[in-house]
Amino acid sequence: MAEDQGNPVERTLVLLKPDALVRGLAGRIITRFEEAALKIVGTKMKWMDEEFTRRHYFDLEERLGSEVYRVTSTFMQQGPVIALVLEGFDAIATVRKIVGSTYPNQAPAGTVRGDFSHYSAAGSIASGKAVANLVHASGNKEEAQQEVELWFDKDELQDYKTLAEVYTY
């Protein structure tokens, strides 16, 4: 059920970053999305190479500088990521609420980052490493559409009904 004009059902991209995978948190994180009645309509595991990382973070260097891009790029290429397309009512805002603040030390308890990470901007600067914050989540509708199209071909996205949809949509 892709988003139509006036329909609050949206699709958004979530990446479970290498730190989520090596810590064995993928299932626990995905469960939180499913418990919020978000439906998985696309999933894949991928190693990000330099070219794909540049395409995904196309404006990061411009926004935050070359050092932030370098550290983020290195971090994202150190292991595989799991890419998910989630669908549901106000999916973008819902996912952002579930994952919490970009900096885990500022994320409230009950969020993915607040419960499973503690990293801070200061820690990142001091260590010269990326903020290990477990997930990437699209920030707005434009970004979600662009990221979903980058990561998934249309035929890789599924349309099906969940039991939760019978009661929530």
Q: Which residues are catalytic?
A: 136
Q: Which residues contact 84 (CB under 8 A, 6 or more apart)?
A: 13, 14, 15, 16, 30, 33, 40, 42, 43
Number of H-type helices and E-type strands within the chain: 10, 4
Q: How far apart are CA 40 and CA 131, in angstroms?
A: 26
Q: Which of 52, 50, 45 is nearest to 18 (CA)?
A: 45
Q: How far apart are CA 126 and CA 148, in angstroms?
A: 33
Residue type present at position 79:
G
| Helix, strand, coil tally for the chain in percent (to 5) | 50, 15, 35
